[in-house]
């Protein structure tokens, strides 16, 4: 979820040395967020202080040159703060696996694509199309994976996932390119065939990795 929005945006903007620092900051920021939310949930900040310090420093060191060279990236800070607050609220309530919490994290990942454009000194609209495709996939992945693991026996979740994926196909037919239409047809088929089946989380992850590669191929074409 962290890599895909960045790689998809790079197919439009091309690479820049600052993108490596941005990606590094995002990868360091993920465990920082994990341990931070763990502390919020348990109220035991002292227990995870070493991890917070280590990952916090790594994130700051990697992000500082990006912010200094491209101060326009600070415009995304309020959005990230609001989404992080949503995650913090769910953590405090002990509802880390709630759909709303997952979607807030997906939104944070999707925003990375816009940050990539800003780092490349392009308007965010330059990557709006690929970002929408990536977000469309990631939201569908959240729903689909729930039907495979935590909500495997929920008929309601299956129908939500199937309806979402069918709507994504319709939207792709109306507004997207042929490769993107094919992509969402494949994703719909995957959601329809696999939902509720007893598959190990590892295999679910492998399938989603393959689907992520299809997303990259579709936005590239």
Smallest Cα–Cα separation from 23: which of 2, 53, 1?
A: 2
Give this prediction's pTM.
Answer: 0.94
Would you write out the chain's pLDDT as a tens digit for each of its 221 residues?
A: 899 999 999 999 999 999 999 999 999 999 999 999 999 999 888 899 999 999 999 999 999 999 999 999 999 999 999 999 999 999 999 898 899 999 999 999 999 999 999 999 999 999 999 999 999 999 999 999 999 999 999 999 999 999 999 999 999 999 999 999 999 999 999 999 999 888 899 999 999 999 999 999 999 99
| In contact, 133 and 218? CB cutoff 8 Å | yes
101-to-36, 66, 217 alpha-carbon distances in Å: 15, 28, 28
At residue 219, the pLDDT reads 96
| In contact, 15 and 120? CB cutoff 8 Å | no
Q: How far apart are CA 80 and CA 70, in angstroms?
A: 17
At residue 68, the pLDDT reads 97
At residue 11, the pLDDT reads 96
Q: How far apart are CA 137 and CA 128, in angstroms?
A: 14
At residue 209, the pLDDT reads 95
At residue 87, the pLDDT reads 96
Smallest Cα–Cα separation from 203: which of 149, 138, 154, 140?
A: 149
CA dihedral sign, ordered 192, 155, 99, 24: negative
How is residue 126 annotated by DSSP?
G
| In contact, 142 and 102? CB cutoff 8 Å | yes
At residue 158, the pLDDT reads 96
Delimit the domains of the chain by residue range: 1-121, 123-221
HSE toward the beta carbon, residue 172, CA cutoff 13 A: 28
At residue 44, the pLDDT reads 87
| In contact, 80 and 111? CB cutoff 8 Å | yes
């Amino acid at each position: 979820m962290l890599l895909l929005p960045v790689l998809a945006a790079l197919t439009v903007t091309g690479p820049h040395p600052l993108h490596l620092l941005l990606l590094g900051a995002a990868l360091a920021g993920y465990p920082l967020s994990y341990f931070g939310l763990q502390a919020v949930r348990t109220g035991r900040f002292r227990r995870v202080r070493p991890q917070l310090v280590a990952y916090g420093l790594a994130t700051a060191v990697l992000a500082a040159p990006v912010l200094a060279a491209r101060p326009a990236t600070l415009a995304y800070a309020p959005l990230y703060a609001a989404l992080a607050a949503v995650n913090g609220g769910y953590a405090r309530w002990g509802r880390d696996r709630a759909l709303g919490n997952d979607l807030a994290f997906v939104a944070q990942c999707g925003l990375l694509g816009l940050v990539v454009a800003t780092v490349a000194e392009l308007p965010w609209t330059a990557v709006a199309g690929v970002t929408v495709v990536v977000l469309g996939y990631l939201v569908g992945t959240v729903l689909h994976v729930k039907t495979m693991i935590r909500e495997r026996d929920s008929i309601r979740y299956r129908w939500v996932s199937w309806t979402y994926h069918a709507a994504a196909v319709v939207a792709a037919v109306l507004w997207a390119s042929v490769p993107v239409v094919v992509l969402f047809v494949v994703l719909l088929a995957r959601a329809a065939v696999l939902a509720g089946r007893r598959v190990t989380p590892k295999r679910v992850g492998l399938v989603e990795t393959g689907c992520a590669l299809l997303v990259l191929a579709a936005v590239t074409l």
